Structure 1
């Protein structure tokens, strides 16, 4: 079984736009979501797994793993993720962005000890966020209907097709099966742990969490396609009291 990069899971389930957009409510069917009954059932399935498995594991990870280790893990997987980002930059003929991301990978993979240390960002080498779904959109491929993927959350027909291409571009895919599966698992837990506080905010903000996440996801994807402009990810690591969710 092939899995998309786990960082996509949290990015899709808990996009920053969820926290920036208004609360979507009402029963009128959205023309972008003709599969709403099926999508809602999948959303409930994903939510059940998240509440009973992913969140408890993520909280345990936050409590037991030192902060500096978690930062190194995040940096390592972020560096791996820059490889498909770079390839999609070049595919969209964003040559300057592609060279920028190539430099990020080179600097962090060498001086940053395989990406455990993020040397590139303090050096002024910006991080971008691209994927093959955005590349297809860049060339005019329509998004198609909204689609909630089992385990992996909000998507569209176009973005779901893009997942597979990005998977082949990821260096993790070419590791030996045991190593690859371990890396996927660690990346998933690390990513989920970062977004625990975003989950708390979502619970408080949304009357209908399905509509809230759907509209936020579709809005953010439209924003990303707007001349390549991206919505920066907030730092969910700290709550209002400065304590990470899951830490004592």
Structure 2
């Protein structure tokens, strides 16, 4: 499967180099930092809804209530999430998705796959995307041009936020594919175990 993954990585990298990265670079160049922060906060506020649901599914009601509190505060005082007022009030931001939830339930991560546009994934995380999409309120906007525009801004803003990582990868990695794979798998394992993963067995 590594041959397939490397081929898909090359496709992804080529599309990113030709299309997404130039758009994100232009967006980053013309958009003031304050505006970019507001856009990032806006989408982070939306993601807190999915995080709350997943914390509940993982049996962490206290965190779920905190996440919903963040949404309530940032959607009102923070003006639709543009400002992160909740963090200043001590409501910690969490990062949960359905891929992590399945990991908490004991579902194995499965094979590592690299998919164009989606990037690095495991089979478990790929399956989790469908539930994350179901809980994403953006997908329930009936006006298609508005929904697509919001998605476009979300993708470009996310890619712009990742621009600093490009330089790190270029400088640190002789094999970018392997570097991204290993970093992704380690990060996902840490997330599933809330930063305290058990030691791997010799069979892993």
State the TM-score, normalizing by the size of structure 1: 0.77
| 2:140 pairs with 1:179 | no
Q: Which structure 1 residue ranges, 5 or more long, are not aligned?
A: 1-34, 231-248
State the TM-score, normalizing by the size of structure 2: 0.93
Q: Secondary structure at the match of 1:121?
A: helix
Cα distance in structure 1, aligned partners of 2:95 and 2:183: 17
Q: Which structure 2 residue ranges, 5 or more long, are not aligned?
A: 197-204
The answer for the alignment partner of 2:41 in structure 1 is 75
Flag as ranges the 4+ runs of structure 1 deviating above 2 A.
Answer: none
Q: Larger relative CO (CA 8 A, sep 6+): 1 or 2? A: 1
Cα distance in structure 2, aligned partners of 1:215 and 1:109: 36
* Structure holding more helix per residue: 2
Alignment of 1:83-122 (within 5 A): 83-122=49-88
Size of the alignment, in residue pairs? Answer: 195
Alignment of 1:156-175 (within 5 A): 156-175=122-141
Cα distance in structure 2, aligned partners of 1:219 and 1:194: 21
How far the C-alpha of 1:229 sits from its partner, in A, is: 2.6
Cα distance in structure 2, aligned partners of 1:134 and 1:119: 27
RMSD: 1.0
The answer for the alignment partner of 2:106 in structure 1 is 140
Cα distance in structure 2, aligned partners of 1:195 and 1:50: 12
Alignment of 1:205-244 (within 5 A): 205-226=172-193, 228-229=194-195
1:204 corresponds, among 156, 171, 176, to 171
